Amino acid sequence: MQSVRLLPLSGRSFSSHALLLRHSVRCVNTNVFFGKVDKDAAAEAAKPFLEKLLQGDRSTLAKSITLVESLRPDKRAQGQAILAGVMQHMNSLLDTHDPAKTTFRVGLSGPPGAGKSTLIEALGCRLTGHVPWDSTNADLESMGLKQMSNSSEPKDAPKQAHRKHKVAVLAVDPSSSTSGGSLLADKTRMQYLAQDLNAFIRPSPNSGYLGGVARATNETVVLCEGCGYDTVLVETVGVGQAEFKVADMVDIFVLVIPPAGGDELQGMKRGIVEVADLIVINKADGDLLPAARRIAMEYSNGLHYITPRRKNWIPKVMMLSSRTGMGIEDFWNKAKEFHKIAVESGDLQLARRRQLKVTDPTMTQYCIFSISTDTCSNSTWMWGYLNEGVMESFKNHPVVRNDLPRLENMVINCEISPGEAAEVLMSKFLERK
């Protein structure tokens, strides 16, 4: 344990000295602890968190997510104990509760600038009941932030056919490849929804994790469900054609596309288009409306060449405008229709079981394409943790750590092939006693 040396207060204000002390303590605490974790102590410490979380406490939810995302093994063990309790609770509800009341997980993905955050705020404000479904952004701004934090119905709001929801938004932001930092600006864009007491927004960095999501996104979804949020919206980073890991974690996968979304061949390309349940052309207003209509037609034509991945659902292409509100209610009605079909066919209950199961990792390549097959599971979750654990153990092995710089230089100088260098390191790692 590093010691913290306090500097004399002379010449420094109390606040600056406190800031220095705080920074020093943070530097000590962020060192990764490789000692043995007391699982019993972690489980005991998790009990009050679990109790408050299941009662719907928002601050406990935020703290629990922080524990799950932590890189410290002791904190992470506490977070995993909370997660295990929530999973047991949610699993028991599958047999006793109406499947129609199961949390609806919605994943939204698409290229940067498609308007995912704006769409989520426009949809979320309507789902919580604070904004009428026929409102525009101008109406939202006129209501003001004060109105959004009030639990009462907006004045002169028309009666809505939709029931009110508790909405959790999990927004994943890209991390810098240079510094590792992340701006986490998605919550800033959702200024009105962030003030809503029936909404919870959690931005997270992807920390280099591929697929458009963060390492703990799946765990965070489960924690939000345990806290009583019946609608979870997962926004990925701006992704490309081959990044659709979020489809494994949600019930319906929505691809959001801007009006300048390419030609008909783009709509026929495999990958992210192939796994989309709804394709939404956003920003369909003003001068962009003709372009949006063209893109919608081209993607509709392209879908004819793609085999639907679900037995009971054919992907739909829709246009909407997050700014004017046009098409948002129709979009949610289609999503509810999907949810109803999934419940009635038993696919939703099956998906929940798959999301908690563990299967052979060799089956994961078929998960996206055989979603109705029970032998395939979304729980590459466990294997992801195993991969991370093995890599962490490999990198911290003393012999590997000592030989790695030498072998890297040999590869750079073309003295040895990358494959041969990897074999040398693996043999040294496996020879350890």
Task: Name the H helices within 137-194.
Answer: 137-148, 186-189
The pLDDT > 90 percentage for the chain reads 28
Q: Please report the pLDDT score of residue 176 as a whole number.
A: 54
The stretch 57-82 carries a mean pLDDT of 90
Strand partners, 172: 204
Residues 130 and 154 sit within 8 Å (Cβ to Cβ): yes
pLDDT at position 146 is 44
Read off the pLDDT band of 119 (50, 70, 90).
very high
Tell me: pLDDT of 109 over 50.
Answer: yes
Closest CA to 133 of 124, 144, 141, 142: 124
Kindly tell me the sign of the dihedral angle through the C-alpha atoms of 357, 368, 328, 168: positive
Do residues 33 and 74 touch, judged by C-beta distance below 8 A? yes
Residue 431: which of 380, 394, 405 has the closest Cα? 394
Place of tokens 């699993």: 91
pLDDT of residue 289: 93
Residues contacting residue 190 through CB under 8 Å, at least 6 positions apart:
117, 120, 121, 124, 169, 171, 201
pLDDT recorded at residue 29: 37
Better-scored residue on pLDDT, 17 or 115: 115
Model pLDDT for residues 379-407, shown as the tens digit of each residue: 456 776 777 778 888 888 888 889 998 99
- Domains in the chain (CATH in brackets) are 39-96 (1.20.5.170), 99-141+162-354 (3.40.50.300), 377-430 (1.10.287.130)
Task: Tell me the per-residue pLDDT of 283-333, one tens digit each, with 9 for 90 and over.
Answer: 999 999 999 999 999 889 888 888 888 888 999 999 999 989 999 999 999
Do the beta carbons of residue 228 and residue 166 sit within 8 Å? Answer: yes
For tokens 């590459």, name the residue.
380
Give this prediction's pTM. 0.74
Give the tens place of pLDDT for each residue, 240-288. 554 567 777 889 999 999 987 555 445 545 678 888 999 999 999 999 9
84: tokens are 């295990």
Report whether pLDDT(433) > 80. Answer: no
pLDDT digits (tens, 9 = 90+) for 165-198: 999 999 887 655 555 555 566 777 888 898 899 9
pLDDT at 128 over 90: yes
Region 32-59: what's the mean pLDDT? 82
Q: How confident is the model at residue 14 (pLDDT cuts 50, 70, 90)?
A: very low
What band does 334 get if pLDDT is binned at 50, 70 and 90? very high
User: Worst-scoring range by mean pLDDT, 87-101, 115-129, 314-328, 403-417?
Assistant: 87-101
Contact between 368 and 248 (Cβ < 8 Å): yes
